[in-house]
Amino acid sequence: MLAALLLAATLDCDAPPTSWRVTQVVDGVTGLAPPSAGAEMAAAEGSVPASVPAILAHLVDFDHMPGRIPWLATARVLARDVDQALVYFRYDLPWPVADRDYTARYRWTALPAGAGRVEIDDADGAGPPPAGAVRVTDLRACFALEPLADDRTLVRYRVHMELGGRLPRRTKDEAVQKLALRSVVGLRRYFAAPVAR
């Protein structure tokens, strides 16, 4: 419990972690990681060609996530309110990596000056028990959305998670780094697509 409280206090979604190193830049999105390995934390930030309300709606459109997120087989809403939801996720990952699952509580809000935020916290205790998948634990994530000119949004994403299983620590770190980068790159590509949304 103390570890979860300490982690929640250190996961800052607004300020870029200046001590972190750049891991990769893809399509104008910068991936970041802590200076030392083993933290299973990562971040990404970049400009997305959409408004804050459009991105907020997209991030909490749980019914369409399985078609948009690679390997996501299930996104089942267990409970939902106006500004929060409890959601179970299951990923069918390619062999030899074992499938993963978790339950997360999403909270979202529009902030002053047109900004927005989506906070994602581990809620495995409120979801179904593991069933044939490795349970992801200690999930803490946040999307901070800041409006820019020309109906664009600066998206900052921070994430920490314990992927479980027998993967080497370095592999887990790299997986979390890829997750962070691909999350923001995915938003950028989705909204940059020529099809009207």
| For the chain, domain boundaries | 2-192
Structure tokens at 26: 């893809």
**Which residue is listed with tokens 């935020």?**
117
Of the two residues 172 and 47, the one the predictor is more confident about is 47
- Mean per-residue pLDDT, 19-46: 89
Q: Pick left, alpha or beta for residue 68 (phi over 0 → left; psi -120 to 50 → alpha; otherwise beta).
A: alpha
171 phi, psi to nearest 5 deg: -65, -40
Output the pLDDT for position 140. 95
SS3 category, 169:
helix
Q: How confident is the model at residue 153 (pLDDT cuts 50, 70, 90)?
A: very high
Q: How confident is the model at residue 31 (pLDDT cuts 50, 70, 90)?
A: very high
Average pLDDT, the chain: 87
Query: CATH number of the domain at 2-192, out of 3.40.50.720, 3.30.420.40, 3.30.2270.10, 3.30.530.20?
Result: 3.30.530.20
145 vs 53: CA distance, rounded Å: 9
Q: How confident is the model at residue 9 (pLDDT cuts 50, 70, 90)?
A: very low
Q: Of 124, 157, 126, which is closest to residue 139 (Cα–Cα)?
A: 124
Answer yes or no: is pLDDT of 109 > 70: yes
Cα 116 to its chain centre, rounded Å, is: 15
